[in-house]
Amino acid sequence: MSDAAGQPGGTQRTSPRHPRRLVWQREATEEPLPAPEPGILHRARVAAVARWVLLPPWAQALVVFAVSRVIGFLIIDRTGRFQPASIWSGPQPGYLGMVGLWDGDWYHRIADNGYPRILPRNPDGLVAQNEWAFYPLYPYLTRAVMGLTGAGWPLAATITSMLCAAGAVVLIRSVTARVAGPSLAMWTVVLFCCYPAAPVLQLAYAESLSLLVLAGLLWCLQRHRYLLAIASILIAKQPDQIPLLKIDSDQDIAGSRDCE
């Protein structure tokens, strides 16, 4: 006769343990495996981050600027491979040939020969295009770099523009950090260096110099060094600084009202 479990002789059948459960129990009693050592790429990334953190903020800004200028070099050089022949150069001028195109040629003429004493005129008697449309500071600075380094115009112009732009980047970071904090200041530098027209910062154009003067003027105003601000405007003699004079006057008016 069967018992309640339906087994003859009253003996209850025991089911064997699941083999997978036995494996899990054995693994639970073993010591955990040591963590794998980090790979070369991981160690290099950690070391790079550590070096970045140790850099002073102005050096971090210059690193961002240097990396962006390498990208700018690749863009300009690649574009030069598709540049057709023009009045400034032959076809496919390459990087150095692209540097001196357009306005850069006028600056080159100023650096070599200065300004014409007699204004050139076209057949209609109107003043023709000439060097007087461009300001003298940039070409004369570039001529000084040519004399110091022995480099030709395209390379000297690139050096001048990049030095001015590097100084502007450091000042922009410093000015922004005072009003927005160091993190946002660094992001400002990144956006400034990577915006679509940023390759102009290394061409034979005066934009880098103008940005340096503007950033220096804001830096002086922020620290109430007004004599240096005025001197920067007088030295540069660029019309871009005129709106900043109104900013300065508005700040003085607001300050005098607060004092009252």
14, pLDDT greater than 70: no
* Tokens 């002789």 -> residue: 9
Give residue 63's pLDDT: 92
Of residues 3 and 211, more confidence is placed in 211
Range of the domain at 90: 48-205
User: Residue 151: inside a domain, yes or no?
Assistant: yes
User: Residue 183: inside a domain, yes or no?
Assistant: yes
Closest CA to 80 of 69, 91, 66, 94: 94
141, pLDDT greater than 80: yes
- Provide mean pLDDT across the span 81-88: 75
233, pLDDT greater than 80: no
User: Residue 12: inside a domain, yes or no?
Assistant: no
User: Residue 219: inside a domain, yes or no?
Assistant: no
Number of domains in the chain: 1
What are the φ and ψ backbone dihedral angles of 114, each rounded to 5 degrees? Answer: 75, -155
What digits encode the pLDDT tens for the residues 17-76? 555 554 545 555 555 555 556 677 766 676 667 676 777 888 989 999 999 999 988 888
Cβ count near 206 (within 10 Å): 26
Q: Confirm if 159 and 130 have CB atoms less than 8 A apart.
A: no
Give residue 221's pLDDT: 87
What digits encode the pLDDT tens for the residues 119-129? 888 888 888 88
99, pLDDT greater than 50: yes
User: Residue 64: inside a domain, yes or no?
Assistant: yes
The pLDDT > 70 percentage for the chain reads: 71
User: Residue 177: inside a domain, yes or no?
Assistant: yes
User: Residue 184: inside a domain, yes or no?
Assistant: yes
User: What single letter denotes the amino acid at residue 196?
Assistant: P
